[in-house]
Structure 1
Amino acid sequence: MDKEFKLASQLLTLLDTEQRWFTLAEIEKKLGISDKTIRKMVEEISNHLPPAIAIEVSRGKGVLLQRDGRSQTVNEVISIMVKQTVFYRLMNLLFTHTGRYSAEELAEAMFMSSSSLKKLISQLNNNDLKPYHIRITYSSPAIKGNEVNIRYFYWKLYCDAYEFTGWPFETVDQTSINQLITNIENEMNIVFFINSKRRLSFLTAIVLERVMKGNDIEITEKIYPWEQGIFYLPMINMTSGLEQMMGMNLSKSELFFMQSMFSLSQYNYYEGSEMALMKEAEMHKNKEVHQMADQFLTILVEAYPNIDVKERFIWELYEFFDKLLIDNAIPELLLISQSNLTSYVQNECQQIYQGLQACMQNWRSAYPSVLYNDFHLTKLTLLVSSNLRYKSKKAFIVIGEEFSIRHYIANLIKKEIGDKLIINTSIMKGLNDEIVKQHQIDFVISNFPVELQSVPVVIISTIPTKRDFDNIRKELLL
């Protein structure tokens, strides 16, 4: 990724952590850049900022990011900046014009010399693309590597660049794909998290684009019982709809791949839904998952006797091990799966994280063939932390993220804000002004844009910062 973009996004993220002046010396120390570079970056970043966000530079004070808590998020600004990087433009061209460019033609399309392009490709192969185990060939420019890794990389790239708005796939109709995903929600009586649904539409488009270009995938049926999965039948209907829409055939491996990604995404059953019982029954069909979860629960309760072992927690634990088996069935995902929250969890929840490492090592003695990594330990830490018995408080919050962490975030806010705030974490069928009124909600806390007219929306980071807690307190004073 462009060095300038990386530094700019790091600077924006740092300034957004607290509503205060950051001294130039403080920024220099954290980012490792000079006073002159900071001023230049602020000037460049300011060109991309919406009217509601501004950066001030003052001699003697430092740098201050002005954002009122209800305006656009810094992540929206970063998303816009991603699309303007040389990295994004090159990778996008390689995706949309597979095999159609010679090295000279690609260099011309990138507005650079052939030698500069060769140097750029070498840098990307040794840095940005290395964690995904993929690379770019130069003589006949193309992305090379395992197909799962290539799809995962482009999924992340396009989701970062179009996190909130836009659709980068010209040959695939977004409305039709969204309707097919909505059909799955209706069929299963579930609701995907808002950003999960958007990400799944991107994934589906990437699958279609890659298959149309002759890039197929192979997934074994032996490691995971795909036909017992709760998404198997809905995915048959979806792939049939995609085949009719695109005039193409999708193999059984493609069905399994999409089934795995839909299963790994975040969704909830509607409150009070009878499907919750069916969900449990479906989980129990896979006796291996049931046995794994029970074995781990025994170890967990011994290590954490204050864990709140309720029905919801047990279901989430079943889901964790079901998804762990899916990851093991597609080992390429296991190698490259990662979370932006891992560093935070390792630092802020260090004791629990390390305790769960010991629990999983103990558990793995019974299941030595099942692999896991920091990604899974991060999920498990958030799950367990949110179910440790804290002082009883209630809340309303809308969280869209890679894991179902709304209960964890709610507990953070409870501990910080106290009894002044009641938080409701239930999942509702849609979120609009009428529903807000019915539930007598005074304001909404969210980590992504929500369009509501009747009540304020306080935008927070995925993990709330001091600034976010201050903005929540302000709403309590109004």
Structure 2
Amino acid sequence: MDAMMKNCITEKDLLRQILLLEQLANHQQATSKELALLLHTTERTIFSDIVSLRQQLPEAWNIVADSNGLALSTTDRLPVSQLWELFFPKSIGISLLKALLFSNDVATQSFLTENGISLETLRRHTLKLNQTLADFSLRIRVTAASIFFEGSEINLRLFYHRLLLPYTHNNYFFHAYSIHENHYYDFLTNLDKQGLHVDVEQIFGTCWFFINTIRIKANCRIDSLSFDLHDTFFALFQDSLLTLYKKEGVYIETSEHFFSFYCFLESWNYNNLWSPTVHKALLSYEAIYQQTTAFIHQIEKSLQTELSQQTQVIDNLSLLLIKVQESTKLSEKFQLEYQDIQYLKYSGMMDVDQIIDQFISQQVANQPNVQQSITKTLYLLIQQARLQSNAIIAKGLFVFQGEPAWKIYLFQELTDYLGQRISLETVEPAQLNSERLAQTDFILSNFPLELSDCPTYYLSMVPTKNELNQVTELIQTYYLNYR
């Protein structure tokens, strides 16, 4: 279950049972002692939860036990994610969020009666929910008469999109899912027929479509937004979006129309397979495209790396800046949804930090919040292009003495194991000169080396699992590296 959904489950025992199911799903088999350590609880509690879960699981599922431990099994090869629908109605927090998705406010007494709880209990659960909602500048207010959200409608929809994206296929939140999904896929198919093909994240866009229609039907409208009615991209897609929402019985206009367009724009993939019409429209934003091209040439010169000819980084950054130009307000707010990816490190980017800062300042002058909101995306796009153009980040030396056929086989296995970010070279001990060591990040060896400046990781003739785990720890810093 997604981390944000877990944060919205306000019952401690229920959350622990869900976490127990996850651990069983992630391990072929585990003992009660191992599960207790993983969940920071007692074996007695684990056994109690197992009994409870067995009573709740549908027929196709079971928790089996033998002398080796416990295991989650299914007769129909169903994904474990289908089980979450069983637990959503059991959580007061999730039930409240579902009710508030479909209504501007909920009658307090009706909600208390339906869930069999007191007003004090509801307030206690709401207090926990509000801790999660604070990241989106939202708050649930409970009075004796009604329950409602305090905060911007845009922020509210962003929260629901982040929360429900992993559960778009789940009928607990989206009734008659397949019908609505077909409407959205028809919309994408019709764009292709019109020569407006764009490579998109389909579930991402479908989830936005659901949330927007639900909120509009609940008469929860987006506040007035300033936008250019004659904007090139908006003009291309506005009629198709009108038709899409009409299939849901919704007529979108003014701010809602533009917001639905911006949600669709957010679903566009980078490294896109543009149709000629859409690519021509992208190039029509001449100032942005020219400035981005000049910026990338600066980056290339500083990093001594070819990017513009080997990657789509100019198109990617132009699309990012077009989003900002379309609406700086939405560009800033939409970054609320991606708070969990803002702590990535970007290896080897220090040399271009100043160039990037200057470029962002020129594009979004005197708007520090917007600058901050797009910085991490810009870094991600540049780093992706760097890795696509030249993936090698580190160099390793393989200094191994053994039977030649085994040595070359092991070298090939380690090369594949380390991945394309690392260049592994096989050398003999006599070849370890100062020049070669200066260009090396680490050494893998099966015999002692008297080297002080270069990290050395020792392997057995047949590397053990622990030795390979040590190598894994070594290479983790070159992949998805967090601060």
CA contact (8 A) 1:187 1:234 kept: no
Distance 1:65 1:12 in 2: 8
Is residue 2:87 matched to residue 1:86?
no
Alpha-carbon deviation of 1:167?
6.3
Cα distance in structure 2, aligned partners of 1:79 and 1:386 = 39
Structure 1 residues 204 and 316: CA distance shift in structure 2, 3 A: same
What is the distance in 2 between the residues matched to 1:219 and 1:134? 19
Change (3 A) 1:352 1:14: farther
Shift of 1:255: 1.3
Secondary structure in 1 aligned to 2:149?
strand
The alpha-carbon deviation at position 388 of structure 1 amounts to: 3.6
Structure 2: give runs of 5+ residues left out of the alignment. Answer: 1-7, 393-414, 421-471, 473-483
Q: Does 1:338 align with 2:367?
A: no
Q: Once the 2 structures are TM-superposed, how far is the Cα of residue 217 of structure 1 from its aligned partner? A: 1.5
> Which secondary structure state, in structure 2, belongs to the residue aligned with residue 236 of structure 1?
helix
User: Could you say what secondary structure the match of 2:371 adopts?
Assistant: coil
Q: Which residue of 1 aligns with 2:153?
A: 147
Partner of 2:423: none
Q: Following superposition of structure 1 onto structure 2, how do residues 49-198 of structure 1 map, counting pairs within 5 Å?
A: 71-78=77-84, 81-82=87-88, 84-99=90-105, 101-125=106-130, 127-139=131-143, 140-163=146-169, 168-169=174-175, 174=180, 175-190=182-197, 193=200, 196-198=201-203
For the aligned residues, what is the CA RMSD? 4.4
Deviations 1:160-186 (A, max 9, x none): 334466762479961444433432343
Work out the CA distance in 1 between the residues paired with 2:85 and 2:287: 41
Question: How far off its partner does 1:284 sit?
Answer: 1.8
Q: Tell me the distance in 1 between the aligned counterparts of 2:39 and 2:118.
A: 31
Match of 2:299 in 1: 300
What is the aligned partner in structure 2 of residue 360 from structure 1?
A: 356
- CA distance, structure 2, for counterparts of residue 379 and residue 43 of structure 1: 46
Kept after mapping to 2: 8 A contact 1:341/1:378: no
- Residue 228 (structure 1) aligns with: 231
Q: Compared with structure 1, are the counterparts of its residues 279 and 250 closer, same or farther at alpha carbon in structure 2 (3 Å cutoff)? A: closer
Aligned to 1:380: 381
Displacement of 1:119 in angstroms is 1.8
Shift of 1:74: 4.5
The sequence identity of aligned pairs, in percent, is 15
Structure 2 residue corresponding to 1:258, chosen from 260, 264, 283: 260
Q: Cα offset for 1:287? A: 2.8
User: Which structure is higher in RCO with an 8 Å CA cutoff and minimum separation 6?
Assistant: 1
Contact 2:62 2:73 in 1 (8 A): yes
- With the length of structure 1 as denominator, give the TM-score of the two structures: 0.64
CA contact (8 A) 2:224 2:255 kept: yes
Contact 1:230 1:282 in 2 (8 A): yes
Q: How far, CA to CA, are the matches of 1:282 and 1:352 in structure 2?
A: 34
Correspondence 1:273-352 to 2 at 5 A: 276-309=275-308, 310-326=310-326, 328-330=328-330, 333-334=333-334, 336-338=336-338, 340-342=340-342, 346=344, 350-351=346-347
Stretch moving more, 148-157 or 327-336: 327-336
Report the TM-score when normalising by structure 2: 0.63
Counterpart code for 1:121: T
CA change 1:185–1:136 in 2 (3 A) is farther
Distance in 1 separating the partners of 2:313 and 2:372: 20
Give, in angstroms, the shift of residue 286 of structure 1: 1.5
Give me the whole-angstrom Cα distance separating, in 2, the residues matched to 1:97 and 1:259: 23
Contact 1:328-1:334 within 8 A present in 2 as well:
no
Specify the alignment match of 2:371 in structure 1: 371
Residue deviations 1:74-116 (CA, integer Å, cap 9, x gap): 54545664454322211111233434x4322221122211221
- Contact in 2 for aligned 1:79/1:160 (Cα 8 Å): no
SS at match of 1:215: coil
CA distance in 1, matches of 2:63, 2:287: 54
Structure 1 residues 124-143: Cα deviation after superposition (integer angstroms, max 9, x where no partner): 22x12111211222122112
d(CA) in 2 for partners of 1:145, 1:169: 26
| Count of aligned pairs between the two proteins | 381
Change in Cα spacing, 1:418 to 1:252, as seen in structure 2 (3 Å) is same
Whose Rg is larger?
2
Instruction: Supply the distance in 2 between the matched residues of 1:67 and 1:388 (Cα, whole angstroms).
Output: 44
Kindly tell me: are residues 321 and 121 of structure 1, through their superposed partners in 2, closer, same or farther at Cα, counting changes over 3 Å? same
Contact kept? 1:324, 1:372, Cα under 8 Å? no
Distance 1:9 1:171, change over 3 A: closer
1:54 CA drift (Å):
7.1
- Cα distance in 2 for partners of 1:383, 1:79 equals 36
Give, as a single letter, the amino acid of the residue that structure 2 aligns with 1:371: Q
- Partner in structure 1 of residue 463 of structure 2: none
Distance 1:382 1:19, change over 3 A: farther
Structure 1 runs not aligned, ≥5 long = 392-413, 420-465, 467-478
Matches within 5 A, 1:184-223: 184-190=191-197, 193=200, 196-221=201-226
